């Protein structure tokens, strides 16, 4: 019986030590989890705060297409030794500034005359070779931009382009 009492006393004395050791493990684990979660939350806050600040500093995005100005259809004879060839082209211009549309309306006869001269100076071969239409777009853009004082032509669109 004396042994049983001694065994009971030992287990009573060992239990607080075990409870104290396991309690310490849990406190370390909880502390580590808190530190990891705090670091993650701080990193996320920093990342999103930086993203929001960069969006505020960035200029507003440009619209996909600016103001458009439609020209009347062109029908011209092409320079061609093989016979009579005609070009029918319907063109629209994208301008950088809507104010440019009013200026384009004022100088419409100049622009139309200049584009007619350009189109009638082209041959079938010039227009049908690789990159021919793109070069024509660039030439039209350059010629019209030389007349504008406000804004500029961003792009030239062919809505119809028929050679017969």
CATH number (domain holding residue 85): 3.30.479.30
Closest CA to 148 of 105, 90, 87: 105
Indicate the average pLDDT of the chain: 84
Report which DSSP code applies to 1: -
| 115 and 101 within one domain | yes
Q: Domain boundary residue among 34, 61, 88?
A: 61
Kind and range of the H or E run holding 163: strand 153-163
| 81 and 41 within one domain | no
Q: Which two tokens stand for residue 19?
A: 């409870």
Q: Domain boundary residue among 10, 44, 61?
A: 61
| 71 and 121 within one domain | yes
The better pLDDT of the pair 117, 53 is held by 117
When pLDDT is averaged across residues 37-52 and rounded to a whole number, the result is 84
- Residues 6+ away with beta carbon under 8 Å from 153: 93, 94, 95, 96, 100, 140, 141, 144, 145
| 89 and 27 within one domain | no
| 105 and 54 within one domain | no
Instruction: Check whether 57 has a pLDDT greater than 80.
Output: no
| 156 and 89 within one domain | yes
Burial class of residue 136 in the structure, from the number of CB atoms within 10 Å of its CB (0-12 exposed, 13-18 middle, 19+ buried): buried
| 76 and 154 within one domain | yes
- Residues 6+ away with beta carbon under 8 Å from 80: 123, 124
Q: Which two tokens stand for residue 28?
A: 């370390």
| 96 and 81 within one domain | yes
Instruction: Check whether 5 has a pLDDT greater than 80.
Output: no
What confidence category does residue 134 fall into, taking pLDDT thresholds of 50, 70 and 90? very high
Q: Is the pTM of this model over 0.95?
A: no
Burial class of residue 115 in the structure, from the number of CB atoms within 10 Å of its CB (0-12 exposed, 13-18 middle, 19+ buried): buried
What total number of domains does the chain contain? 2
Instruction: Check whether 143 has a pLDDT greater than 70.
Output: yes
What confidence category does residue 24 fall into, taking pLDDT thresholds of 50, 70 and 90? confident
| 35 and 81 within one domain | no
Domain residues for the domain of 15 are 1-61
Instruction: Check whether 112 has a pLDDT greater than 70.
Output: yes
pLDDT of residue 39: 87
| 149 and 130 within one domain | yes
Q: Domain boundary residue among 61, 80, 107?
A: 61
């Amino acid at each position: 019986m004396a042994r049983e009492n001694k065994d009971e006393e030992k287990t009573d004395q060992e239990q607080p030590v075990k409870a104290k050791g396991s309690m310490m493990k849990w406190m370390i684990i909880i502390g580590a989890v808190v530190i990891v979660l705090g670091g993650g939350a701080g990193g996320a806050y920093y990342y999103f705060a930086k993203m929001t600040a960069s969006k505020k500093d960035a200029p507003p995005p440009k619209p996909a297409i600016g103001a458009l100005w439609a020209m009347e259809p062109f029908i011209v004879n092409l320079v061609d030794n093989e016979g009579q060839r005609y070009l029918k082209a319907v063109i629209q211009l994208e301008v950088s500034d809507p104010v440019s549309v009013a200026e384009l309306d004022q100088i419409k006869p100049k622009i139309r005359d200049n584009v007619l001269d350009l189109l009638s100076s082209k041959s079938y071969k010039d227009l049908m070779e690789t990159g021919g239409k793109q070069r024509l777009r660039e030439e039209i853009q350059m010629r019209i931009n030389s007349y504008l004082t406000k804004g500029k032509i961003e792009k030239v669109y062919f809505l119809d382009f028929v050679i017969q």
